[in-house]
Amino acid sequence: MSNQVLGYLIMGTFGLLVILIIAYVIINKALNRGDRKYLRELRKGTQTSGMSSEIMYQKLYMMYLKIPGLKGYLAKLRRRLEIITIEDEYQTRRQSAAIITRMLLIVFPLTIGIILLTKSNVLLMLILLIFEVFMVDTFIDGMVGKLDTKLLKQQVEFFSEIRHAYHEFNMVEEAIYDVSQNDELEVSRQGEKIYEILISDDPEEELEKYYDVAPNSYLKEFAGISYLTREFGDRKTNEGASLYLKNLNNITQEMQIEILKRDKLDYVFQSLAVIAVLPMLFIELLKSWAVSNFSFTSSFYNGKLGFIIQIVIVVATFICYVLVRKVKDTNSNSNVKNSQNPWQQKLYKRKPIKKIVDAFIPKKGTKQYKKLTQLLKDAASKEKLEWIYVTKLTLVVVVFIVSIFIMSQLHKVTVNYIYTSPTTDYDLISMSSKQEDEAMEKTRLDNIFLDMFRGKTSTTQDDIARAMERSKEYKDATDEEIEKASERVYDKLQTINAEVVKWFEVLISLIFAVIGYVAPNALLLFQKILRQLEMEDEVMQYQTIIVMLMKIERVNVEMILEWIERYANIFKEPITKCVNNYEAGAWEALEELKNDISYQPLITIVESMQAAVEKIPIREAFDELDTEREYYQEKRKASNEKLISRKGMIGKAIGFAPMIILFVGYLIAPLVVIGLMSMMSSFSTMGTMV
C-alpha cells in the first residue's frame, strides 16, 4: 500500500472521529433544548450533578441513537439489557451508552493500529478489519455477561436481607417489598417486579410471564418458591426451621457455587481470547524483522507460500477465537437470543431466498431431518433449522468467492515478487548494499522486457534475445550476456504467464465452500460435546429443585417435572415431551423419559418419580436427597472443579494454537529450512565455480 493511500486511511479515521465530536456538540445543544425535560423525568429523585457520568451517558445514548452504524448495535444491546434492568429506561440507557462508549474506545485505537501494522498488505488489513467487526459483537456479549454475573452477586446479598426481613414481617411479599426499597441496585428492580406479581389479581399467570424474561434461573426459583409459600403457607422442617428460609438458603448455596465457577472460569480464560487474537497483529512485524535480518527469507515471506501461511494464521485465529468463546460460555442470559430477529431470519423472509433455502432443508420425517434436529437439541442451540441452512448457504457463497479472490491474490503476489525482488545468478545468504543495487538494476532491466512480452504465450527465448539486441539497454552487451539475460527473462515470463486461476484452484475453492457448508454442523457438534461436560452440573440443579419442592404441601410429581422443565437446558426436549404426555399416563410418560435419556443420575431421579406416582409419598421417594444434601454439595463442587479443569485444558489448547502456528510455521520453520537450502545452494554454486 502506498504512503498516499495510508495517509488517506488515517486521515479518514481521524476525520470520522472529528465528525463524531462535532455531532456530539450539536446533539448536546439539541438535548439541552429538546430532551432536557424528558431526561429530568428519567432522573427524577436523583441528586446527580449536571457534569456527572450519569447525565453524560444519557446524552451519549441520544447521540448514538442517531448514528446509523451504532443504532443497530444499540438496539441489539437494549434487548439484552432490558431483561436485567426491568422497566427501568434510565438504567437501560445508561448501561447501553456505557458499553458502546467502551467499545468505541477500544475500536478506534485498534483500527488505527491495524492500519499501521498491515499497511503493506491490503488483503490482510481488510481481513483484520472485518474480524474486528466480529469482535465487537463478542465484546458486547462479554460486557452483558459481566452485568449478569454482577446481578448474581447482588442476589446473594439480597436474599440475605430477605431472610432478616422475613423474620420481622413473617410475610413473603412484605419482606420482598421492604428489601427492594432499600437501594437502587439491579436486583432491587427484580424484587419489585416479583412483589408486583405476588400481589397481582392473577399471580400464577404473571409468574409464567416472568419466567420467560427472568435474567437467570435462580430468580425464577426464588419467584416460584415465594409464590408457593404465599399461596400454601410456610411450614417448619424437622429441625424447627422455616421451610421457606431453608429453600432460600438452598438457592443461595447454588448461586455461590455458580459465582465461584464463573470467577474461576474468568480467571482461566481471562487472557486466552487475547492470546488467540494477538498472532494476527504480529504477522507483519515478524515478516519485516525476518526479511531485514535474514534476506534469504525474502522469497518465502514475499512469495506465495508466505501469503498462504498468513491466510492460515488468520483463519485459525478466527476459528480458535470462536471456539474459546464457546468453551467459556458462562452467560446464563441466553434466552434473549431466541427473541431476536437475526440476519438469517431477515434473509429467509425474502421469497426467492426462502425457496432456495427450503430446497436444501431436509423434509420432515427423513433421517437427515431427525439427525439435525436432534443435534440442535443436544447442543442446546436456540437457532431454528431455517437459520442454520441460511448460514450454511451463505457460507458456501462467501467462502467460494473469498477463496477465488485469495487464489487470484496468490498469483498477484507471485507476479509482484518477480517484478520487485533482487535478481541474482545464485542464492545469497546475505547481500551487501552494492550487490543489492546491482541485483535491483538487473530486475529493472528484466521488467522492461517482461512488460513487452507479458500475456504473449507464444513468445520464445529467441524473440526476447532479438528484442534485447535492438534495445538501448543491451546495445553494448556481448552475445553471451544477451543469451544469459534472455534465458532469465524467459523463465520469469513463463512463470508470470502461468499465474492465472486454474481449474484445480476453482475445484479447491469448491472444496472450501463445502467445508463452509458443514462448518455450522461441526460447531453444533462441538457445542454438544461441551454440553455433555455440563450434564452432571445440570442434574444436580434438578436435585436442588426437588429438595426445595418435596416438603411443600400439595406438590406432586407433575409440578416437579414442570419446574425441572423450566430450568432444563441439556435435557429440555425429553422432559418437555414427558410433561406433555403426563396427563395421558404418568407412569408411561416417565418410562418414555427414561428411554429417551442415557445419563444414569437422571434415570435414578426419574425412577424415584415413578415410585412417588404409585407407591410412596414424594418426601419419602426423594428422602436421600435431603439427608445427603452436604454430600451432594461437595460432589457438586468437585464436579465443577473437574469441569473447569477440562474446559481450561481445551481452552488453552485452542487459544495457543494460532501462536504456535505463527512462531513455528511462520518464523522458526522458514528460517531453518530456507537457511539450510540457501547454504546448500551457495556451497554447491561455489563448488562448481572452483
Question: What cell numbers appear for 9 in the block?
Answer: 486511511
- Tell me 668's DSSP state: I
Asked whether 582 and 558 are in contact (CB, 8 A), the reply is yes
Quote the CA–CA distance of 296 and 305 in Å, as a whole number.
14
- The predicted pLDDT at position 31 comes to 46
Single out the residue in 207, 237, 270 at which a domain terminates: 270
Q: Any idea what the Cα angle at residue 470 is, between residues 469 and 474, rounded to 5°?
A: 50
Q: Is residue 169 part of a domain?
A: yes
- Which neighbouring-strand residues pair with 242? 236
d(C-alpha 217, C-alpha 540), whole Å:
14
Mean pLDDT value of segment 190-201: 89
Residues 101 and 138 in one domain: no
Adjacent-strand bridge partners of 236: 242
Reply yes or no on whether the pLDDT at 334 is more than 50.
no
**In the prediction, which pLDDT does 85 show?**
66
Q: How far apart are CA 586 and CA 558, in angstroms?
A: 8
In a domain, 581, yes or no: no
Whether residue 186 contacts residue 150, with contact meaning beta carbons closer than 8 Å, is answered with: yes
- Name the residue with higher pLDDT: 676 or 586: 586
Q: Which of 270, 305, 336 is the last residue of a domain?
A: 270
Q: Are 413 and 302 in contact (CB under 8 A)?
A: yes
Q: What pLDDT, on a 0 to 100 scale, did the predictor assign at position 328?
A: 79
Residue given cell 481452552 in the structure block: 651
- Top mean pLDDT of 10-24, 110-124, 552-566 is at 552-566
Res 5 pLDDT > 70: no
The set of residues, in sequence order, having a beta carbon less than 8 Å from that of 593 and lying 6+ positions away, is 574, 575, 577, 578, 606
Higher pLDDT, 334 or 591: 591
Whether 170 has a pLDDT exceeding 50, the answer reads yes
| Domain assignment of residue 590, yes or no | no
Domain boundary among 62, 85, 117: 117
Q: Tell me the one-letter amino acid at 17.
A: L
Could you tell me which residues come within 8 angstroms of residue 605 by beta carbon, excluding any fewer than 6 positions away? 539, 542, 543, 546
Residues 167 and 34 occupy one common structural domain: no
For 385-430, where are the alpha helices, taking DSSP H only? 385-420
Looking at the structure, tell me whether residues 127 and 103 fall in a common domain: no
Q: Are residues 145 and 263 in the same domain?
A: yes
Q: Which structural domain range is residue 157 located in?
A: 121-270
pLDDT of residue 19: 64
Cell for 303?
A: 512469495
**40/150 same-domain check:** no
Q: Mean pLDDT throughout 13-38?
A: 55
Please determine, for residue 646, whether its predicted confidence score (pLDDT) is greater than 50. yes
Contact 392, 517 (CB under 8 A): yes
Higher-confidence residue of 614 and 27: namely: 614
Q: Are residues 113 and 129 in the same domain?
A: no
What integer is the mean pLDDT of 326-333?
Answer: 64
Report the alpha-carbon distance of residue 365 to residue 648 in Å, rounded: 39
Judge if 155 and 217 occupy the same domain.
Answer: yes
Residues 107 and 188 in one domain: no
Q: What's the whole-model pTM score?
A: 0.71
User: 265 and 235, same structural domain?
Assistant: yes
Q: Please check whether residue 163 lies inside any domain of the structure.
A: yes
Do 129 and 210 have their domain in common? yes
- Residue 35 pLDDT greater than 60, yes or no: no
Smallest Cα–Cα separation from 505: which of 497, 516, 496, 513? 513
Residues 131 and 255 grouped into a single domain: yes
Kindly report which listed range (246-260, 341-355, 361-375, 672-686) carries the lowest average pLDDT score.
672-686
Comparing 205-214, 256-265, 432-441, 615-624, the range with the smallest average pLDDT is: 432-441
- Mean pLDDT over 117-128 rounds to 71
Residue 318: count of CB within 10 angstroms of its CB = 19
- Of 219 and 135, the structure prediction assigns the larger pLDDT to 219
Count up the domains in the chain and report the number. 2
Residue 125 lies in a domain: yes
Same domain, 113 and 140: no
Kindly give, in sequence order, each residue whose CB lies less than 8 Å from that of residue 616, ignoring residues fewer than 6 positions away.
none
For residue 579, tell me if it sits in a domain. no
Reported confidence tier of residue 140, pLDDT bands at 50, 70, 90: confident
| Range 311-329 average pLDDT | 84
Residue 20 scores a pLDDT above 70: no
d(CA 558, CA 583): 9
396 within some domain: no
Q: Give the pLDDT confidence of 560-590 residue by residue, as tens digits.
A: 898 888 888 888 888 888 989 888 888 888 9
How would residue 337 be classed by pLDDT, with cut points 50, 70 and 90? very low
Q: Is residue 613 part of a domain?
A: no
